[in-house]
Amino acid sequence: MYNKKIIFAGACLGMLFFGIGLITLGSVIPSLKMKYALDDISAGTLFSILPFGILIGSLVFGPFCDRYGYKILLFLSCIFLFAGFQGIANAPSTTVLKCCIWVFGLGAGAINGATNALVSDISDKARKGASLSLLGVFFGLGALGMPSVLGILQRTYSYETIVSAVGFVILALSIFYLFMRFPAPKQATGVSISKNFYIIRDPLLLLIAFFLFCQSSFEAIINNWSTTYLHYRIGIAVDKSLFALSLFVAGMTVMRLLLGSVLKDVPVTRIWAGCFSMILAGLLLLSFASSFSVSVVALLLTGAGLAAGFPIMLGFVGSRYEKLSGTAFSLVLVIALTGNMIINYVMGAVAQAYGIRHLVTVAIIEWMVMVVLCAIILNKLKTKNKK
């Protein structure tokens, strides 16, 4: 029999290193540009490989976990992350570097999806959203803490040493997973094609997937474009803009901690009402902001408002598809990541053609779509629960 506390701790460690890994890769871009003599276009092309690796990892983890369980998948994901980190630290050429970044993305996508599905599987039906919120806190801790750690360590060590060391820590995590006991595979005899087809055509699951399409892309445009918005629209220095962006992540992290603890018994309708109100307030403040302090409050509110999206919606998925949770999680996460990539590209085109001021316009459109989708989803869930 498996121990839920140990499994939850193992999942949290996986999510922590997922957050650390993504931030570490972004932080070493300047060093990689110098080492391999890359211009901005080449560096951008190099790291555009990462989302495709994450997408593939998100696609394959679910059916694999449903068929073979979590142990092998989590172990292999850590091995892929380890190989990716070692390659990024020591690749002899840009070709090898590209392969290593893709391998890292593959492991990252798989470990992100698997840890979410695993926590959903071991949680009580009424507590799935709260447990997934606590899991999300560890991504935020990794993403927030690693830049500071890197800044301190780079005074003494090269980026190659730091990245390689992170890889070896992840290798140790893979060994930890080998000695853990996990829930048994849910579909050990295989999953029928007709069952998979039913999942794909389920209207409720697709509604949740497209809500997360908007959620993921909303997070992406704030993460990728808000510093540009603050710098060119409001005139805030780049270093201060980056600090304001870190508070967006902090707001999301703190709110997920609250959702998983003191707010875990609050009705979900009230959670959504509060979160959507915070998002709208944050966007309106950002639209009219003329100072750094107002911008900080705007991003903090927006991050806090977006905190509920993934944990609660994935909790709905886990409750509805307990016997095929991995495959269901794969579907919604792939659609979410596709939204991340598509809308981020659209935002770039909008900024180039009409100006960065329309970041708020695009965000408000996404907010409106999310409100409508959430209302439909909650209504369908209420109807199904009455039957």
pLDDT in tens, 303-329: 999 999 999 999 999 988 888 888 899
d(CA 99, CA 35): 17
pLDDT (average), residues 102-115? 94
> Which tokens in the block code for residue 276?
């959507």
Residue type, position 232, single letter:
Y
Check: CB of residue 369 under 8 Å from CB of residue 214: yes
- The answer, yes or no, to whether residue 197 has pLDDT greater than 60, is no
d(CA 139, CA 23): 10
What's the distance, CA 235 to chain centroid?
29
> Which tokens in the block code for residue 51?
């989302």
- The answer, yes or no, to whether residue 40 has pLDDT greater than 70, is no
Q: Tens of pLDDT along 50-91? A: 888 999 999 999 888 988 899 999 999 999 999 999 998 888
pLDDT (average), residues 203-225? 93
Q: Which pLDDT value is given to residue 27?
A: 72
Residue 93, classed as helix, strand or coil, is: coil
- The answer, yes or no, to whether residue 250 has pLDDT greater than 80, is yes
| CA angle in degrees (0–180, nearest 5) for 325-327-328 | 60
| Angle (deg, nearest 10), helices 325-354 and 193-201 | 40
> Which tokens in the block code for residue 41?
């276009």
Tell me how far apart the terminal alpha carbons of the chain are, to the nearest angstrom: 34
The chain-wide mean pLDDT, for the chain, equals 88
Q: Which pLDDT value is given to residue 191?
A: 53
Residue 110, classed as helix, strand or coil, is: helix
Q: Tens of pLDDT along 267-288? A: 999 999 999 999 999 999 999 9
The DSSP secondary-structure symbol of 123 reads S
More confident residue, 256 or 326: 256
**Tokens 């794969």, residue?**
330
Check: CB of residue 164 under 8 Å from CB of residue 85: yes
Q: Which pLDDT value is given to residue 198?
A: 65
Task: Flag the least confident range among 31-40, 51-60, 158-167, 257-266.
Answer: 31-40
- The answer, yes or no, to whether residue 188 has pLDDT greater than 70, is no
> Which tokens in the block code for residue 264?
């875990």
| CA angle in degrees (0–180, nearest 5) for 344-349-353 | 150
d(CA 329, CA 314): 7
Check: CB of residue 301 under 8 Å from CB of residue 254: no
Q: What domains lie within the chain, and their CATH numbers?
A: 4-180 (1.20.1250.20), 197-381 (1.20.1250.20)
Q: How confident is the model at residue 244 (pLDDT cuts 50, 70, 90)?
A: confident
What residue ranges in the chain does DSSP mark as E strands? none
Q: Which pLDDT value is given to residue 365?
A: 96
> Which tokens in the block code for residue 38?
């890359």
Residue 73 vs residues 67, 134, 168: alpha-carbon distances, Å? 11, 22, 18
Q: Which pLDDT value is given to residue 196?
A: 60
The rounded percent of the chain whose pLDDT value lies above 70 is 94
d(CA 286, CA 99): 39
| CA angle in degrees (0–180, nearest 5) for 16-213-281 | 85
For residue 10, the number of C-alpha atoms closer than 13 Å in the C-beta half-sphere is 28
Sign of CA dihedral 34, 36, 37, 39: negative
